[in-house]
């Protein structure tokens, strides 16, 4: 049955050594089933994720608790497969842990902390901030869902105001967008 599932499935012994993986796990990790057994599964981890994931797995196994992490597999063809892994301890009838069962699913790139996509986004945001600081263009950025606003100093200047004279951005219950400005009295 597990061979038919569209997710990677694995089992380990009580020491965290893999004893079985399904076909989909092998596809995601780009590792043959036999090579994944024991501690062989570690070879598929992206080098930047390996130490943290191995330590977290060791901690989960030693503590007998749930393991839930996002990380990357580095596939044999050089591509990166982003995944989320979730496991639970498996107990026998008397209660002791006899192993762990887990699933591995594909995940979106932006959800993986420290991923290349996250770093590229941060670099892009930094470049945008530098570009906006060095131009005379004004920028008003308003997140209508959270109400958070960002107004650069040039925007205030363009409109003849001093920085900080905008009071608030709100989203009333009728979903009308209102930008409130605090304007000093001028004659």
pLDDT tens-digit map of 41-64 = 999 999 999 999 999 999 999 999
Please report which confidence band the pLDDT of residue 168 belongs to, taking 50, 70 and 90 as the band edges.
Answer: very low
Residue 30 clears pLDDT 90, i.e. is over it: yes
Residue 103 clears pLDDT 80, i.e. is over it: yes
pLDDT of residue 42: 95
Among the listed residues 149, 135, 154, 146, the one whose alpha carbon sits nearest the alpha carbon of residue 181: 149
Task: Of 74-78, 125-129, 176-180, give the lowest mean pLDDT range.
Answer: 176-180
Mean pLDDT in the chain? Answer: 79
Answering whether pTM is above 0.85, one says no
* Torsion over CA: 38, 44, 83, 114 (sign): positive
Q: For the chain, what is the largest distance between any 2 Cα atoms, rounded to a whole number of angstroms? A: 85
pLDDT of residue 29: 95
Return the structure tokens found at 89: 């301890």
Average pLDDT over residues 37-43: 95
Secondary structure class of 141 (helix, strand, coil): strand
The domain segmentation of the chain, as residue ranges, is: 2-108, 136-187
Question: CB atoms < 10 A from the CB of 18, how many?
Answer: 21
Residue at token pair 């004659």? 187
Average pLDDT over residues 65-69: 94
Q: Which fold has domain 2-108?
A: Beta-Lactamase (3.30.450)
pLDDT of residue 165: 65
Question: CB atoms < 10 A from the CB of 126, how many?
Answer: 10
Q: Buried b vs exposed e over 85-96: b needs ≥16 C-beta within 10 Å?
A: bebebeeeeeee
pLDDT of residue 157: 76
Please report which confidence band the pLDDT of residue 156 belongs to, taking 50, 70 and 90 as the band edges.
Answer: confident
pLDDT of residue 166: 56
pLDDT tens-digit map of 107-122 = 875 445 555 666 766 7
CA distances from 34 to 76, 86, 87 (A): 16, 21, 21
pLDDT tens-digit map of 10-26 = 999 999 999 999 999 99
Cα–Cα distance measured from residue 74 to residue 87, given in angstroms and rounded to the nearest whole number: 21
Q: Backbone dihedral region of 30: left (phi > 0), alpha (psi from -120 to 50 degrees) or beta? A: left
């Amino acid at each position: 049955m597990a061979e038919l599932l569209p997710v990677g499935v694995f089992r380990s012994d009580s020491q965290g050594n893999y004893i079985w993986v399904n076909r989909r796990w092998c596809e995601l990790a780009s590792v043959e089933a036999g090579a994944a057994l024991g501690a062989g599964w570690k070879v598929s981890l992206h080098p930047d994720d390996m130490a943290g994931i191995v330590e977290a797995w060791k901690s989960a196994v030693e503590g007998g608790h749930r393991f839930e992490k996002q990380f990357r597999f580095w596939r044999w063809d050089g591509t990166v497969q982003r995944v989320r892994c979730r496991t639970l301890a498996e107990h026998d009838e008397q209660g002791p842990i006899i192993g762990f069962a887990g699933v591995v699913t594909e995940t979106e790139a932006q959800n993986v902390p420290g991923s290349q996509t996250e770093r590229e986004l941060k670099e892009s945001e930094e470049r945008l901030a530098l570009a906006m600081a060095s131009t005379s263009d004004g920028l008003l950025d308003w997140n209508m869902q959270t109400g958070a606003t960002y107004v650069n100093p040039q925007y205030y200047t363009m409109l003849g105001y001093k920085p900080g004279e905008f009071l608030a951005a709100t989203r009333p219950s009728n979903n009308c967008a209102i930008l409130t400005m605090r304007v000093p009295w001028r004659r």
